[in-house]
């Protein structure tokens, strides 16, 4: 008698990779890395004001070769002129990352960037941290004592 095989939990990357991968493919991206590693590819200054939306690929020519595509970027309004001037640099960086001449030009769409709101870290009351540190006389390492005091003060906060 054959025992049924146990199903093991699949890594989240395998499950989401299929769903997210299909979405990226519809937008013309061969992989999600162009979007997820945009800051590394374009540089911090360019990535602070832009994000890739999709790649538009032209039809293949008679020989069956596909000409380079157009990278569509979402850009904040005031930074659009500066990003437009850096279009050649952006194309070069994207092509270097991809390893082939995939992008020939950049097209801009002015719109607010879709950024995840930064998580605000609440501050710890220094007097409460000092009071907690006073209750830790057995710890001799000052950095460790201060870190534990901040943690204790944050936990005790109402």
Q: Are residues 64 and 137 in the same domain?
A: no
Q: Structurally, how many domains does the chain consist of?
A: 2
Q: Are residues 131 and 86 in the same domain?
A: no
Tens digits of residue pLDDT in 25-62: 555 555 678 888 899 999 999 999 999 999 888 887 77
* Confidence check: pLDDT of 10 > 70: no
Residue 53 — φ and ψ, nearest 5°? -100, -55
Q: Are residues 151 and 91 in the same domain?
A: no
In a 10 Å sphere around its CB, with 0-12 CB exposed, 13-18 middle and 19+ buried, how is residue 158 labelled?
Answer: exposed
Q: What is the pLDDT of residue 77?
A: 84
Q: What is the pLDDT of residue 15?
A: 60
| Chain position carrying tokens 């004592």 | 145
Identify the residue with better confidence: 123 or 8. Answer: 123
Q: Are residues 104 and 130 in the same domain?
A: no
Confidence of residue 151 (pLDDT cuts 50, 70, 90): confident
Tens digits of residue pLDDT in 54-100: 988 888 777 777 788 999 999 988 889 999 999 999 999 999 998 88
Confidence of residue 110 (pLDDT cuts 50, 70, 90): very high
Q: What is the pLDDT of residue 33?
A: 80
Task: Find the domain containing 60 and state its range.
Answer: 12-110
Q: What is the pLDDT of residue 94?
A: 92
Q: Are residues 150 and 75 in the same domain?
A: no
Query: Residue 118: inside a domain, yes or no?
Result: no
Q: Are residues 103 and 131 in the same domain?
A: no
CA distance 54 to 29: 7
Q: Are residues 57 and 86 in the same domain?
A: yes
Q: Are residues 79 and 150 in the same domain?
A: no
| Chain position carrying tokens 């659009």 | 80
Average of per-residue pLDDT values in the chain = 81
Q: Are residues 40 and 93 in the same domain?
A: yes
Q: What is the pLDDT of residue 11?
A: 64
Q: What is the pLDDT of residue 152?
A: 86
């Amino acid at each position: 008698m054959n025992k049924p095989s146990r199903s093991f939990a699949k890594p989240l990357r395998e499950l989401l990779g299929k769903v997210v991968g299909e979405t990226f493919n519809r937008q013309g991206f061969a992989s999600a890395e162009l979007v997820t590693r945009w800051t590394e590819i374009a540089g911090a200054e360019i990535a602070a004001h832009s994000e890739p939306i999709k790649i538009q690929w032209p039809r293949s020519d008679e020989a069956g070769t596909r000409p380079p595509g157009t990278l569509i970027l979402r850009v904040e309004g005031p930074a659009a002129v500066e990003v437009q001037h850096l279009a050649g640099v952006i194309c070069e960086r994207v092509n270097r990352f991809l390893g082939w001449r995939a992008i020939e030009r950049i097209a801009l769409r002015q719109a607010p960037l879709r950024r995840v709101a930064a998580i605000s870290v609440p501050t710890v009351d220094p007097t409460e941290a000092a009071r907690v540190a006073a209750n830790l006389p057995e710890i001799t390492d000052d950095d460790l004592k201060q870190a534990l005091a901040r943690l204790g003060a944050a936990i005790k906060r109402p």
